């Protein structure tokens, strides 16, 4: 099966209106992709990103919907295919993180993370498995904390460990379709999701934890995603740790 040339490739980025998702959108556009910027609630932000891309000569649309709602996401896939003729890459950056010791976590918060992080990844990956063109790539998102085991991350890590399991098995189930499936596991990265609720001392300590002695930037993670979305055709069924060497 022939893969689609990069200049003609189309990507759908869930959670593409902020943080790492926005950096991924910008990187893929710079690599020549047409990109669908997915949003869950902030359409204005997604539309502004699309306007910036199109005014600079790029190709982009915005699509909305709850990633855990299979009907809403099927409609999003429909919209991307109608606009650009097909989909080659799906990047699942959409996710939520609620930190608490396991002993005191509200179970409704566990359910919220399960719905977005696990069910959402499963729904979007399932659609992608059935609709991506040959030469395509699915890129899911885990976290380095599945290995570092920081306190208060228990429920979040549980959801991301599930994402890793989905990713590794789907890669093997798509044998013969010429579609790669990988996950990116960022380390501490300077996004609103990561910084929210942390004091300056905690942020300073985490910024020194990696040998490179800084927090990651969304652009650092986007570079890894772009590698998996484009040239990395022999990388499949892997979890790639983009964390500056954090053990």
CB 49 within 8 A of CB 16: yes
CA gap 29, 51 in Å, rounded: 13
Residue in the structure block whose two tokens are 């890894």: 224
Judged by DSSP in three states, 95 sits in coil
For the question of residue 153 being annotated catalytic, the response is no
Q: Which residues have a Cβ under 8 Å from the Cβ of 136 and sit 6 or more positions away?
A: 3, 4, 87, 88, 89, 90, 128, 178, 179, 180
CB 94 within 8 A of CB 146: no
Judged by DSSP in three states, 222 sits in helix
Stretch (H or E) spanning 224:
helix 218-229
Q: Which residues have a Cβ under 8 Å from the Cβ of 176 and sit 6 or more positions away?
A: none
Beta strands 60-64 and 89-92 are unpaired
Q: Which of 39, 141, 153, 156 is catalytic?
A: 156
Active site residues: 156
């Amino acid at each position: 099966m022939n893969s689609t040339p990069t200049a003609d490739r189309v990507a759908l980025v869930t959670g593409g209106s902020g943080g790492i998702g926005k950096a991924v959108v910008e990187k893929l556009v710079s690599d020549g992709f047409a990109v669908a910027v997915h949003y869950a609630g902030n359409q204005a932000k997604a539309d502004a990103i699309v306007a910036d891309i199109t005014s600079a000569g790029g190709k982009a649309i915005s699509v909305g919907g709850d990633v855990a709602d299979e009907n809403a996401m099927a409609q999003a896939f429909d919209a991307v295919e109608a606009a650009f003729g097909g989909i080659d890459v799906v990047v699942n950056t959409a996710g939520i993180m609620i930190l608490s010791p396991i002993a005191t976590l509200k179970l409704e918060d566990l359910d919220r993370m399960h719905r977005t992080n696990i069910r959402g990844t499963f729904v979007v990956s399932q659609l992608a498995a059935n609709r991506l063109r040959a030469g395509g790539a699915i890129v899911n998102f885990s976290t380095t904390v599945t290995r570092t085991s920081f306190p208060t991350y228990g429920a979040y890590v549980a959801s991301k460990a599930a994402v890793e399991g989905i990713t590794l098995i789907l890669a093997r189930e798509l044998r013969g379709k010429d579609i790669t499936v990988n996950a990116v596991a960022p380390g501490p990265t300077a996004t609103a999701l990561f910084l929210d609720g942390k004091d300056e001392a905690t942020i300073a300590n985490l910024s020194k934890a990696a040998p490179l002695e800084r927090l990651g930037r969304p652009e650092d993670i986007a570079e890894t995603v772009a590698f998996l979305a484009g040239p990395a055709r022999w990388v499949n069924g892997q979890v790639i740790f983009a964390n500056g060497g954090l053990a």
